[in-house]
Structure formats: structure tokens, C-alpha cells
Structure 1
Amino acid sequence: MHSHLKTTDLGAPDSGTPGLKTSALTAASVGLLALASAMGIGRFSLTPILPLMQQDAGLSLATAGWLATSNYLGYLVGALLCIALAPRPAASIRWGLAGVGVTTLAMGLTDWAPLWLGLRFAGGAASAFVLVGTSAWAMPILRHHGKDDWSGHVFSGVGIGIAFAGAFGLVAAFDAWSSRATWIVLGAVACALALLLWRPVGAGMPSVAQPDQPAPGRALPWPAIVAAICYGAFGFGYIIPATFLPALAKGYIDDPALFGMVWPVFGAAAALSTFASGWLGRGLAPWQLWTRAKWVLAIGVLVPALWINVPTLLLSALCVGGTFMLITMAGIREALRLGGTPAPLAVGVMTAAFGAGQIVGPLLVSVLQRSGHAFAIASLIAVLCLVISNCVLLYASRRAAPSA
């Protein structure tokens, strides 16, 4: 959910930089809406629609796991392509948003599972282009206007998008919409956002983002490698409830007004945690915020694996939704702290580890489907990985702290 691109400064106020045409408020608002579409719809829309697909399309948990894996793999490939090709930020946002809209819309126009896999892969890649482009477009504009702290507002779009998609899924379940109709309407919303943001994105046009290059001859320090492995465990742990919580709730709760609340709560917790990140992390080193949030995440992954009821599902949504963005931001800051001279390389390795971890999560659920307890077993494995990796992270970060 992040990139390691750098962008040049927008220049002095009298430099005639085109980025001056865009105010900080516009940049923050456009960035928020772009990430809401890319992440809330492009990446995580399957989660609230999954219960509907199970009901009217007979979708199994195993097939759902493959669909989620395809989307996460597409996201990883899209991020790597952005790093390799370094496209213009405005073009990344524009065409990425269009791709999110078209692929989401097309999900409701077919019932052929192989095509679903391709569409979810393409939607994941498109969402990565939006994320990378938004980071490279909005951040320099905010920096120029002295509003660096507004970056939290931009990334709150992730949680807001998840909450919107979840609330829409709740309405669809309550009104007995079909999964196809739900996909089509969400796709139409994403297409509308792509059209709405097309012109404002072109007005800013900050300098073209270029991939950072690690210093030649420098290897990645071992604490940064350890942190990357722990970050991969985070990706593996959070993605299991982030993919299957609403479907799990539907299996045990008949009332759509109750089981449909899980995903909006998840998104709202993510958005609020982003706004509160400065206060929550005050006086803490990045690894301290990371490890403390990760204990809460482990609790959120554990409770629905042991007990299934409304309180445990909502507690899981709060714990996982309220920590995954905090850990994302703290993890990147820790990578920069530990990486030393090749810090961009450290962030790149973290991104790859995270992507691999979130691909393994739903894939494991699909593999364990025959056991009859796929979600519970996969969740317990994830909790074990989270606990072990957090202990390792505590030890490695404390040892690295004096020399960092």
C-alpha cells in the first residue's frame, strides 16, 4: 500500500511551477478521493460483496481466496511496473482510476470465474498505479504549501473508501440486491470519480517521479532485512480478516443489518486511525508504534478464530482496521531509519515483503478449504506469525536503536 518514489521539489513561489495552480486543499481532496476509489473499490470491494456472491453465485470460500490473491498479485505487479517505468503521476492517476472503474463494472457483466480472476488482477494493478501516482502528485504540492501534515488526510482516503464500499454492501444486502448489480453500481461510482478527477489531476502536474536509486556498493543492513520479514508477516496477518470477515459474519449471523456492519466499522477505524496517527505516535520511535499496534492487530486476528459472534467480529474489525494503516506508516518510517544510505532499497524490500505476505494469506485459506475450518486455522497460523515476528522486531529494533 505504498511506494518508494521520490519527487523533486516544486520550486520557489516565483518559479512559475505549474504545481502552483493546485492548492493544498485541492491536492488533499483529490488525493483522498483517488485513494478511496483505488483502495476501497479497486482493491477491497470484493470483501463486502463476497457474501452476496456466495448467496446468488454459489461462490466458495476457496474461489474467493483465489480472487483475492489475483487482486493482490495484480497490485504487486502494478507497483513494480510503476517503479520500473516511472510514468507521469497525472497519467498514473487518470488511467489507473479509469482501469479501476472499468474492471469493477465488468465484474457485474460476467459470471465466468476465469474472467473474474483476470479482472481482479487488472483492478489490483490499476489501483497500484493510482496509489503511486497520487503519492508522487499530491505530496510535493502539500510540501510546497507547507502542509506536509496533511498527508494523513490524503491517506485517510483508504479507510474512507473501505467504509463507503462496506456501507454500500450493507445497503445492497439489506435491500436484497444481486452481487452483479452491486458490482455494476460500484463500478459506475468508480468511473464517475475517474471523470470527476481527470481535469483537477492535470492542473497540478508536479515534476515527474523517478525511482530512488540505492547507493552503489552498499548492502542492506541486517536489521532492515529483519524488519522487512516482520513487515511481510504483518501483510500475511492482516489480510485474512481484511478479506473474509464479512463472509464469516454472514455464515453465523442471519440479519444483514448486523453482519453487514463489519466492513464499514473496519474502514471507519482505518480512517480515524490515520487522522489520529500523529497523536498516537507522539514520543514513540517508529518501531515502538509498530510493535504496539501489532499486538492489537494480533488480538483482532485471534478473536474471530476462537469465538464467532457479533462482539468478536466487531472487535476484530476495530483492531485490524484501526492498526493496519498505523503499521503501514510506522513500518515505512522504520525502514528509512534502519536502511541507512540505501534507505530506498529498504523501502523497496519492505514493499515486496508486504505484497508477498498478503498474497499468501487468502491463498492459505483456499488451500485449507477441505479441512472445514480454513479461516480459523489460517487465522491461528497468522497470529503465531504475528507474535513471533513482533518479538523478533522488538529485539532487533532495540539493538539497532543506539546505532541508528
Structure 2
Amino acid sequence: MSTPAYPSVSDSAADADAAAAADTRGAATLAWPAALALAAAMGIGRFAFTPVWPLMAEEGGLSLAQGSWIASANYAGYLLGALAAVVWPMRHAGHARVQLAISLLAVALLTLAMPLTHDVMVWCALRLAAGYASASAFICVAAGRTVAPGDPREPAASALTYAGVGAGIALTGLACLALMAWGVRADGTWLALGGLTLALSAIAWPGLKRPSHVPSSTAHAGPPARVPRVTARLALHYGVFGIGYIIPATFLPAMAKQVIANPAVFGWAWPLFGLAAAVSCLLVPRLARARDEKRVWQVAQALMAAGMLAAALWHHIAAVIVAALLVGGTFMVITQAGMLTARRMAGAAAPRAAAIMTAAFAAGQILGPLLASWAGRWGAGLPQVLGGGAALLAVSAWRLGKITTEDKGAGHNAIGPQGCTH
């Protein structure tokens, strides 16, 4: 009598890996339009000024104070866009698609308009509007779903979608690096980035016209779903994340330039930051398999604090590289984990919860430079500011763990191939 054949452990593992690979391929097909939209809206609408700033300072004498005003205007616009989404939440998928199209077009036109003037106040207004448009686009993507709830491809689709932000940052940084090598001035760089926004949006749009999956209660008119109280606690920590990360995210190329003046070297700081952000989104679903997304948020925030501390204590290009990898490699992980946490706990109120989280983050981005300026008046330099931000992030990561299972009524979720976002 023959012994029945049972699948071995190795066969089961191989089948699981094959299934995961198939899920990833299917998720990529669904997620790439949203990823390109985020690359345009965030990589350029939110972060283009960072790599162009050194050129504008060198060519036009843009001071640190003026540059800070322009950057802060973008942060303020991002906050206004998020607050608008809280007050006027999206009611259905059709509304979200129209809003996303308008936002992407606005980012492109506002970027193309930057060379039309050299007035700092007009620049502030343009970047304010671009920040508003980028927040609107991000919320449209973050509140929707590329696949239906419960689909095994959803974790991979979410990771690929959020990787678009880092890819956009890296692409913007590489474009600025190439244009700098070709001798293109700041005005030409802005025009090139505006054209890049149009190109990315045009490529993404046919895929974005497909209906996205939204919570069923938002598919019809009626009063907005109620946001749970835990969203406020999550938003507080998300705002602290915005405070802590904004200093290195804004000044990383300038930090690199202080160490090495050669643009062929310091110019790589921003592409490296974006590349780390994109790769981290793709790796985390496997590294964080079967773990709660809040735990992923905690660990990523602690690593970000370590990167900032390295740059604060060590004035060397190696420290800048460490900061670029650890800050760039965690900020989109925290963004993804934070949004998944808030969306899961909010249930039907997911769009409004996403807007509240985005508003908290935007407020933190504005508060961060103000706190840095206040510290500077007391004699603190960039290393001390980075150290203080690292400490703030570390404390927040620890306190985040105090948000316990009492708030998990919507069910457990994990960022990973075996997890399922709700």
C-alpha cells in the first residue's frame, strides 16, 4: 500500500512565495497610476523646492530667511489643503477623481509659473497654492483603495502606491542633478520639473479613471461618518513626526553642501533621500510581515531619530548619507503606517481621518521651522536643533505604544503580504 504524498514544508514555502510574487505583480498593475500621481503631486508639488533652493541662492542671492519663507508657504498650503478636506470631505469616488485631476494640473501649472517672476512674495504664493494642491491629491489617493477590501493584493498595492512619493523625490533630485551638470539655471529647472509633472500625470490618468474602491458609507450622499476619538491621539503623534522630520527633509542638500561644496557630490543627497523612501515602502511589507502597523510606525520613527542624531553629532558627509538613508528610508514608512492605522480605526470615516492626519502632519511641518528659529535665537545651531528633534521623535515613538488594544475595534491589520488593510 503506497503512502499518500503530503506537501513538504519547502513546497508550502515555495507555494507561498509564488503566491506572494503573483500578488505583487497583480498589485503593481493596479497601483502604478496612483504611484505616478503621488510622484507628481508630492515629489514635485511638495518637495521640488528643496533641490532647487541651492541654485536659487547661488544665482539670485536668495537668503536663508527668504528660502525659509518660501518653504513655509508650501507647508502652509499643505495644511490648508488638508483642513479643506476635513471640512468638505469627499463623498464619492467620482468627486475624488475630479479633485485629483484638478490638483495634478494645478501642481504642473504652478511649477511652470515659478520662472515667470523673481519676486519672493509671488514665489511664496505659488508654492502656497502648490502645497494646497499636493495635499488635495495626496488625500484623494490615501483615502481611496486601488483594490477591494480583503483582497490579498492590498498590502502590496498600498506599498507600491506610497513608494511613488519617494520615487518622485528621487526623480526630481536626479533631474535637478542632471540639469545642474548641463548648466541649466534655476528658471530652466523649474520649467523642466513642470513638464515632468504634466508627463507623469498624463501617463497616470488613464489608469486613474478606473473606479477606486472607497468605504461604502462614502458612496452615497448623507452626513459624514463620525471620526473616532483615537484619531486625535494618532494625529498628535503624526504631527510630532512632521515636526521632527521637516528640518532634515528641508535642509539635507544644504547640510551636504556645507560639508562638501562640489555639486557633483552634495547633489546626490536628495536623490538618495528619495530612493531610500521608495525602496523602504517596497521592503517593509515583507520585513514587517504579520506585525501591527502601529509597531512598524514606532520602529521607523526611532530609526529616523537615530539618523538625525548621527547628523547632529558628526559633521561629515558619511553622517549626511546616514541621515539621508534613515530619514528618507523611514518617512514614507511612517506615512504609510500612520495612514493605515488611522484608516483602519476610523472605518467608514477613513477619508476624513486621512485628512485630519494630513492636517496634523502639515501643522507639524510649520511648527518645526518656527521651533528651530526660536532655538536659534537662544544660540542653538543646526546640530542642536537636529538633536532636539531626534529626542522629540524618540519620546513620541515610546508614547505611541500606549495606544493599546482598546482602540482596535475595527480589527487587527498588518503591513505585509499576509496582512489585509481595512
Structure 2 length normalisation: TM-score? 0.79
Measured at CA, do residues 142 and 153 of structure 1 come closer, stay the same or move farther in structure 2, by a change above 3 Å?
A: farther
| Cα contact 1:338–1:400 (8 A) shared by 2 | no
Please, which of 180, 195, 201 is the counterpart of residue 208 of structure 2?
Answer: 201
TM-superposed CA distance for 1:146, in Å, is 6.1
- Give ranges in structure 2 of 5+ residues lacking alignment: 1-25, 412-422
Q: Distance in 2 between the 1:120 and 1:66 partners?
A: 10
Tell me the secondary structure at the aligned position of residue 42 of structure 1. coil
Match of 1:397 in 2: 403
Is 2:378 the partner of 1:375? no
Q: Distance in 2 between the 1:338 and 1:136 partners?
A: 13
Is 2:66 the partner of 1:59? no
| Cα contact 2:160–2:282 (8 A) shared by 1 | yes
Tell me the secondary structure at the aligned position of residue 329 of structure 1. helix
**Which has the greater radius of gyration?**
2
| Cα contact 1:61–1:369 (8 A) shared by 2 | no
Further displaced range: 51-60 or 82-91? 82-91
One-letter code aligned to 2:64: L
| Cα contact 1:290–1:330 (8 A) shared by 2 | yes
- Give ranges in structure 1 of 5+ residues lacking alignment: 1-22
Q: Distance in 2 between the 1:344 and 1:130 partners?
A: 12
Measured at CA, do residues 198 and 173 of structure 1 come closer, stay the same or move farther in structure 2, by a change above 3 Å?
A: same
Is 2:392 the partner of 1:385? yes
Q: Distance in 1 between the 2:257 and 2:191 partners?
A: 22
1:263-292 CA-partner distances (Å, limit 9, x unpaired):
111111111111112112123222321211
Measured at CA, do residues 192 and 275 of structure 1 come closer, stay the same or move farther in structure 2, by a change above 3 Å?
A: same
Measured at CA, do residues 80 and 398 of structure 1 come closer, stay the same or move farther in structure 2, by a change above 3 Å?
A: closer
Q: Distance in 1 between the 2:379 and 2:56 partners?
A: 19
TM-superposed CA distance for 1:399, in Å, is 7.6
Tell me the secondary structure at the aligned position of residue 117 of structure 2. coil
Match of 1:165 in 2: 172
Q: Distance in 2 between the 1:114 and 1:154 partners?
A: 34
Match of 1:364 in 2: 371
| Cα contact 2:103–2:133 (8 A) shared by 1 | yes
Q: Distance in 1 between the 2:164 and 2:348 partners?
A: 31
TM-superposed CA distance for 1:184, in Å, is 1.4
Measured at CA, do residues 348 and 182 of structure 1 come closer, stay the same or move farther in structure 2, by a change above 3 Å?
A: closer
Tell me the C-alpha RMSD between the 2 structures.
Answer: 3.1
Q: Distance in 2 between the 1:55 and 1:346 partners?
A: 42
Tell me the secondary structure at the aligned position of residue 88 of structure 1. helix
| Cα contact 2:78–2:133 (8 A) shared by 1 | yes
TM alignment of 1:170-249, pairs within 5 A: 170-202=177-209, 204-206=210-212, 210=218, 213-215=224-226, 220-221=229-230, 225-249=232-256
Is 2:290 the partner of 1:290? no
Q: Distance in 2 between the 1:150 and 1:402 partners?
A: 23
Is 2:308 the partner of 1:308? no
Measured at CA, do residues 329 and 309 of structure 1 come closer, stay the same or move farther in structure 2, by a change above 3 Å?
A: same
Measured at CA, do residues 55 and 367 of structure 1 come closer, stay the same or move farther in structure 2, by a change above 3 Å?
A: farther
Q: Distance in 1 between the 2:349 and 2:103 partners?
A: 29
One-letter code aligned to 1:33: L
| Cα contact 2:115–2:191 (8 A) shared by 1 | yes
Q: Distance in 2 between the 1:192 and 1:208 partners?
A: 27
TM-superposed CA distance for 1:26, in Å, is 5.3
Measured at CA, do residues 62 and 371 of structure 1 come closer, stay the same or move farther in structure 2, by a change above 3 Å?
A: farther
Is 2:45 the partner of 1:42? yes
Measured at CA, do residues 141 and 175 of structure 1 come closer, stay the same or move farther in structure 2, by a change above 3 Å?
A: same
Further displaced range: 283-292 or 34-43? 283-292
1:339-394 CA-partner distances (Å, limit 9, x unpaired):
68977766554333222111212333455566775433332221221122222223
Q: Distance in 1 between the 2:115 and 2:379 partners?
A: 29
Q: Distance in 2 between the 1:400 and 1:208 partners?
A: 26
Q: Distance in 1 between the 2:109 and 2:368 partners?
A: 27
Please, which of 228, 253, 268 is the counterpart of residue 261 of structure 1?
Answer: 268
Is 2:326 the partner of 1:323? no
One-letter code aligned to 1:247: A
Q: Distance in 1 between the 2:291 and 2:151 partners?
A: 27
1:96-125 CA-partner distances (Å, limit 9, x unpaired):
111111111111221100001110011111
One-letter code aligned to 2:300: A
Match of 1:31 in 2: 34
1:307-359 CA-partner distances (Å, limit 9, x unpaired):
22210001000000111111122223433566689777665543332221112
Q: Distance in 2 between the 1:195 and 1:360 partners?
A: 35
| Cα contact 2:146–2:157 (8 A) shared by 1 | no
Match of 2:84 in 1: 81
* Count of paired positions: 375
TM-superposed CA distance for 1:226, in Å, is 3.7
TM-superposed CA distance for 1:73, in Å, is 1.6
Please, which of 102, 123, 128 is the counterpart of residue 109 of structure 2?
Answer: 102
Q: Distance in 2 between the 1:376 and 1:330 partners?
A: 28
| Cα contact 2:304–2:331 (8 A) shared by 1 | yes
Q: Distance in 2 between the 1:155 and 1:393 partners?
A: 22
1:3-22 CA-partner distances (Å, limit 9, x unpaired):
xxxxxxxxxxxxxxxxxxxx
